Amino acid sequence: MFKINENYLKLPGSYLFSAIGRKVAAYSQAHPDKKIIRLGIGDVTQPLAPAIIEALHGAVEEMGKAETFHGYAPDQGYEFLRSVIARQDYQDRGCQIAADEIFVSDGAKCDSGNIQEIFSLDNRIAVCDPVYPVYVDSNAMAGRTGSYDAGTGTWSNVIYMPCSMENGFVPSLPEEKPDMIYLCFPNNPTGATITRAQLQEWVDYAIRTGAVILYDAAYEAYISERDVPHSIYECQGARNCAIELRSFSKNAGFTGVRLGFTVVPRDLKCGDVRLHDLWARRHGTKYNGAPYIVQRAGWAVYSEAGRQQLQEQVAYYMENASTIYKGLTEAGYTVSGGINAPYIWLKTPGNMTSWEFFDCLLEQVGVVGTPGSGFGPSGEGYFRLTAFGSHENTAEALDRMKKLTF
């Protein structure tokens, strides 16, 4: 008789955004006449930029002719894409990252879930609390997180690093020693950022203690302040201790197109084993490369026209962030984030729990957000709104929220 991976049975409920999706679907079925405004999942709403559409069309045409047809993509991604990433995202910022240290994939969510596979099950992970749930769930599925305590919403073998208003939502170095440290800045869900000096402390700590940092920089395009690093490789020594994950979803609207990449520097080693070789081995066995068409679209993100158009798109969303931030502040909410990130993190009013506020918002005014407690115990009493809606819907959501009664 076959056996299942029992680690899956330890997972609490369902994936956060699936649970929200189900609640919203039930509400909308019961109230078909009500217009729901979705500021929950960080899904983009603006169409793909013209430069990207043009590249997609061009690539589709190529696929239709024998001379320019492309079959399986190289495991690690096409050189035309990896080299432009290495140059524009890294070398132009003074980071020594080479094209062959970049692994193109179908998105940062998959990479951030899969990357744990190349590490021993004995490793102890540390995560910010609140945290993007994929880091913890993927380690739980692998059997690295111990047992789940439904009362506290914590795993016995995970080091939680609380991020609160008091520490500006930037965690302190942990007292217990982790082997794998997940950091995400600009942060999902709090929208907080880390300064270069603060991030350097983490890099120094990882080198000192022999830990690896898994750095999720999916939201770097939203950085507006100067001392906020766009990449962990802006810190000295990071090539020896950090892997970086990047996405095309938020900077270029690829949530439905799917493209991302992971940087594994050749200097990053465990003894004399390069993590680069392990990830290359894993990629070669389990992945057949992102589609040519999509990689061509990714390449257009770095073209002059693409960069210009995407800057405008990011600015569009950040105008929403400012609308939400200002509107909620005026309405008396305690608000953070939204300056270098497309997420606004607010304290729930009237001491409501995160889910109570979710229900209240949905039922009273038809606005969907994300309950902070879904991201971890320290998220309780908080709520996340995304800036990825349209201007019209964002403004309407704010008007509606001002009418809430508690």
* Interacting residues with ligand MLT (CB under 6 A): 41-43, 109, 132, 188, 249
Choice between 154 and 249, CB closer to ligand MLT: 249
Compute the least distance from the CB of residue 20 to ligand MLT, in Å: 9
Tell me how far the alpha carbon of residue 350 is from its chain's centroid. Answer: 30
Residues 51, 93, 201: CA angle, nearest 5 degrees? 130
Instruction: Give the separation between CA 41 and CA 95, rounded to whole angstroms.
Output: 32
Sequence-ordered list of residues with C-beta below 8 angstroms from that of 92, at least 6 positions apart, any chain: none
Token duo for residue 301: 């993100």
Query: Closest separation between CB of residue 333 and ligand MLT, Å?
Result: 20
Question: CA 43, CA 3: separation in Å to the nearest integer?
Answer: 36
Q: How far is the CB of 327 from ligand MLT (least distance, A)?
A: 20
Given a contact cutoff of 8 angstroms between Cβ atoms, the answer to whether 102 and 80 are in contact is: no
CB-wise, 17 or 205, nearer to ligand MLT?
17
Closest separation in Å from C-beta 291 to ligand MLT: 19
Structural element, H or E, at residue 245 = strand 242-247
Q: Residues in the chain, how many?
A: 406
**Residue 330 CB, nearest approach to ligand MLT (Å):** 25
Distance of closest approach, residue 188 Cβ to ligand MLT, in angstroms:
5
> b vs e for 378-401, b when ≥16 Cβ sit within 10 Å of the residue's Cβ?
bbbbbbbbbbbbeeebbbbbbebb
- How many C-beta atoms lie closer than 10 Å to residue 214's C-beta? 23
At closest approach, how far in Å is the CB of 236 from ligand MLT?
30
Residue nearer to ligand MLT on the CB measure, 76 or 188: 188
Q: Shortest approach of ligand MLT to residue 175 CB, angstroms?
A: 28
Which pair of structure tokens corresponds to residue 249? Answer: 């979803």
> Nearest-CB residue to ligand MLT?
42
User: How is 252-268 classified by DSSP, letter by letter?
Assistant: H--TTT--EEEE--TT-
| Closer Cβ to ligand MLT, 43 or 75, answer by number | 43
For ligand MLT, the closer CB: 144 or 384: 384
Cβ distance to ligand MLT smaller for residue 287 or 345 = 345
By C-beta, is 275 or 294 nearer to ligand MLT?
294
Residues 294, 296, 298, 303: what is their CA dihedral angle, to the nearest 10 degrees?
A: -160
Tokens of 87: 């140059």
Question: What does the block give as tokens for 16?
Answer: 């956060």
**Spatial CA neighbour of 298 closest among 14, 75, 85:** 85
Which of 43/380 has CB closer to ligand MLT? 43
* Nearest-approach distance from CB 344 to ligand MLT, in angstroms: 13
Per the omega criterion (within 30 degrees of 0), is the bond before 171 cis?
no
> For ligand MLT, which is the closer residue by CB, 42 or 338?
42
Beta carbons within 8 Å of 190's beta carbon, 6+ residues apart:
130, 163, 169, 336, 337, 343, 345, 382, 384
